[in-house]
Each structure stands twice: as C-alpha cells, then as structure tokens.
Amino acid sequence: MKRHFQLFTVLLLVSFSALHSQYYFYNNKYYNSPVLIEVGLSAGGFNCLTDLGGSKGLGQRFIKDMNVQNAHIGGGVYAGVIFDQLFGLRTEVSIGKVSASDDVLKNDHSAAMNRYHRNLNFRSTIIELSIIAEFLPLSLLNKESYPLFSPYILAGVGLFKFSPQAYFKGRWIDLHPLHTEGQGFKEYPSKQPYKLTQPNLPLGFGMRYEISAVLNTRLEVVYRLLRTDYLDDVSTQYIDPEHFYSNLNLRDAGMAISLSDRSSEIQPAMANYKGQIRGNPANRDAYFSCNLKVGVVLNRKRR
C-alpha cells in the first residue's frame, strides 16, 4: 500500500510538473501568463445599411442593399484581457463615418427607381464605446500549445453617438433639429424625437494571428444591431408641410420643407403627399466595420 502511494505521488508530481510547464512557458524565450493583457489599434472601413440607396429591386434586409462605394475609413483603440487563450474581454473606442444616397440608383430602371426619385442623402460621424466578449474555440482542441492562428466569435454591448446631416446647396445641414418626419410634433404624438446617443449590440467574428510573443494582428468584421431606424433620418412617412411652420421657427421650417421632400429637385412637378411612404420602419438601420487590428501583449516576460 505504501509503495502504491509513493508511486501515485511520483506520478502526480510528474503530471503537475508537465502541466505547469505547459501553463507557464510560452516558448523558449518567453514566460506566459494565464491572463494576457493586450492593448492595440485598429483601422479599416465603416459602412451602413439604411433606408437610403441600395441596389436594384425592392429593398431587403442585410447585405443585399449594401453600397460598397459608401465605405469610409475608421479606426479605434482597445484594451483587454484574454483568459487561458480561450475567452477575451475588451473595451474599445471606435470612430468612423457612414453615409448613403439615393442617387446611386440613377441608372436603375427597376422598382428601385422610386428610391432614386426620393432623392435623399445623409452622412454621419459615428463615435462608439463598446465592451466586447470573445470566444477562441481552437484552444479547446489543443491545450499543449498556443495556436498562431486563432479564429474567434464576438458579441457585446455598446453606446454610439451619431448626428445625420444632408448635403444641400453646397453645405451639410444637421437633420435632427428639423424633425423631418414630425418627430415630437403635437400633430404626431406617436413619433418621438430620436436620441443621438443610443445603445447597440456588436456581433461579429475575427482571426487573430500571433506574430511574436508580444505582437499580434487581427482581421475582424463587426455588425451593429441598432434600436433606431433614424441613423439616416428616414423611417416612416411624409408629413403635412404646414406642420413645420406650426412647430418650428420660420428659418428651420423652410429648411425642413426643403430637406424632407427632395423629389422636386429631380422632377420639378413631383411632390409627395401627407402619409406617403418615405422609409420602411420595419427594417431598422445598422452599420458595420471591417478592421485590421495590431495588438501588443504587455505581460509576457523574457525568460
């Protein structure tokens, strides 16, 4: 019995020693930590899916109506931790721009021509603060080494700030103060003004590659689910233009009339009537990014 206990003790010590070496050493030059601290930068492109622009035919959800030509450069900074090469948690600040315009459908003769005749456009700067959780599944398959390539999925919560503008007579005009669909007007009690700071839900996937023990790079695609359909200031129906005068000052009322219905800029005799469809509130807006990230691991130390 004593001999069996001694043998068990020896085996336990050997096993612990093996596990400890796997756990503690990254390679022959660096020690590893079960919790890695990482900071980094990102750069890439931002784009959006809204009521404006799109492709031929009826408007649809998701990427069918994506206009690649509307992509804009964006970037950010992040800091986070990775637990045992399996789970990650980071906070990130991102800045980018999104835009869309109905004039991309100028030469389209399908049902999308109605959107071209609507003739609306917008742009907005996006400032976002998010908390992202990551799951790196390859670490479940091989605990004895650290994979250079690590695909991962991600999900989180965020807060973003935006302010849609329209291009009109050589300058960009803020749309939120104009209440272009009667938001907040007494005549439309069901339409409340949209907030310019709102929550979102980032979802996506990426690939992490370890260049060295202290440097890594990522390619990442993140789609943001929004609670608003007013990223582009377009959602429901045209309103009676007289209601702008009864709710806004004279200057803003005139600007709101000009920017709420711009069909006459293409067809001078064309005008939209009260209650006619301006947007589709059934499909909420969204924006997304594709970024290249470069990260630095702060707590792997030389042996």
Contact 265, 16 (CB under 8 A): no
Q: Considering the domain boundaries, does residue 151 fall inside one?
A: yes
Return d(Cα 288, Cα 204) in angstroms, integer: 9
User: What range defines the domain where residue 213 resides?
Assistant: 24-169+193-234+283-297
Contact 121, 101 (CB under 8 A): yes
Residue 55: what pLDDT? Answer: 65
Q: Considering the domain boundaries, does residue 261 fall inside one?
A: no
Return d(Cα 64, Cα 56) in angstroms, integer: 9
The pTM assigned to this predicted structure is 0.87
Count of structural domains within the chain: 1
Residue 195: what pLDDT? Answer: 97
Torsion of CA 115, 121, 122, 123, to 10 degrees: 110
Q: Considering the domain boundaries, does residue 41 fall inside one?
A: yes
Q: Considering the domain boundaries, does residue 219 fall inside one?
A: yes
Q: Considering the domain boundaries, does residue 241 fall inside one?
A: no
Residue 22: what pLDDT? Answer: 45
Q: Considering the domain boundaries, does residue 18 fall inside one?
A: no
Q: Considering the domain boundaries, does residue 226 fall inside one?
A: yes
pLDDT tens, position by position, for the chain (303 residues)?
Answer: 445 444 544 443 344 343 344 446 677 788 888 899 999 999 999 999 999 987 665 555 666 667 888 999 999 999 999 998 899 999 999 999 999 999 988 887 666 688 888 999 999 999 999 999 999 998 777 655 667 899 999 999 999 999 999 999 999 999 999 999 999 999 999 999 999 999 999 999 999 999 998 999 999 999 999 999 999 999 999 999 999 999 999 999 999 999 999 999 998 888 888 999 999 898 899 999 999 999 999 988 888
Q: Considering the domain boundaries, does residue 248 fall inside one?
A: no
Query: CATH number, domain at 58?
Result: 2.40.160.20
Convert 90-105 to b/e letters by CB count within 10 Å (16 or more is b): bebebebbbbbbbebb
Residue 58: what pLDDT? Answer: 59
Report DSSP state, residue 194: P
